[in-house]
Copies of this chain bind each other. A is one copy, B any other.
């Protein structure tokens, strides 16, 4: 099953020519999930060859503009391009009013429904679940209410050992039960144990997205063991005071967090506009956690 994330923006609050504000596109089993939507996200989608119309789920971490100023434009374009299927939006409660006010004054009546889910940023909760993925909020520590998102692949069904099933002439209509870990009593009296005819599927992968936050051990348990951890790393550690003041993280801290929570891979982003190039940030993070990569525009990472 495909489970990968494409970075659409790596900038923080103020823009830089070659970096866009935060947005990521998660592809889980060919369904598209948009995570945050900074200004220009719809242009980034076009640039990297994605169809906005394929996005059915949008998750907004918090109401700082660099994480959502591209949303109303995107919603508007979907409408103008004829969308009719509902769109599911998980976001801080006030975003509903912000969107509605703008559509009111532009006299826009959307042709599709926005199914708005107001996120409670005070406690972690499962906010979405389908056949592919479960999404849970991560309670971050930022200047305004802010949640990250933990995407956990659904555990796949067990894999059939076809050769053995055929050898023992187990009728195909019982295969689905075996895949679901159920033993089968055949009409001919034989008892078929699922453990003998199937193997375990791969362990579900976990992607954790920590948008804007300062270093705070309280959320570490929530992101434990992530296969891929995206964590903001706005500053170099020499700017720690500024990071604390603005409730952001340094590259060194991001690496420390990845180490502590035993992540397999760390992606860093949300870089301050003061950094014209990003090598120093990458180097600082790799010093503490080698499996670090820069989450920059256009890159796709398998989770």
Contacts and interface: CB of A to CB of B under 8 A. Distances in A.
Interface of A: 13-17, 20-21, 39-40, 42-43, 46-47, 63-66, 69-70, 72-73, 76-77, 80-81, 92, 94-95, 97-98, 101-102, 104-107, 143-144
B105 A94 contact: yes
Contact of A40 (B14, B39, B98, B104): B39
Contacts of A66: 73, 76
A76 B13 contact: yes
Given A43-B15, A97-B101, A72 B69 contact: yes
Contact of A65 (B43, B46, B73, B97): B73
A95 to B, nearest CB: 8
Contact of A17 (B46, B73, B97): B46
A56 to B, nearest CB: 19
A104 to B, nearest CB: 8
5 contacts: A13-B76, A16-B46, A39-B39, A39-B73, A98-B102
Contacts of A20: 43
A95 B102 CA distance: 9
Contacts of A43: 15, 17, 20, 39-40
Contacts of A15: 42-43, 46, 73, 77
A39 B70 CA distance: 7
A144 B17 contact: no
The 6 A-B residue pairs with the shortest CB-CB distance, nearest first, are A94-B105, A39-B73, A63-B105, A69-B73, A17-B46, A40-B40
A144 B65 contact: no
Given A14-B77, A97-B101, A106 B39 contact: no
A29 B97 CA distance: 41
Given A17-B47, A98-B98, 11 more contacts: A15-B42, A16-B46, A21-B73, A39-B69, A39-B73, A40-B40, A65-B73, A65-B106, A97-B101, A98-B105, A106-B144
Contact of A101 (B47, B76, B101): B101
Instruction: Find the residue from A72, A73, A97 having the highest chain B CB count within 10 A.
Output: A73
A245 B278 CA distance: 49
A67 to B, nearest CB: 9
Given A73-B39, A94-B105, A97-B101, A13 B65 contact: no
Which residue among A63, A65, A76, A97 has the maximum number of chain B CB atoms within 10 Å of its CB? A65
Nearest to A62: B106
A106 B63 contact: yes
Nearest to A69: B73
Contacts of A64: 106
A64 B77 CA distance: 11
Name the residue among A17, A69, A80 with the largest chain B CB count within 10 angstroms. A69
Contacts of A47: 17
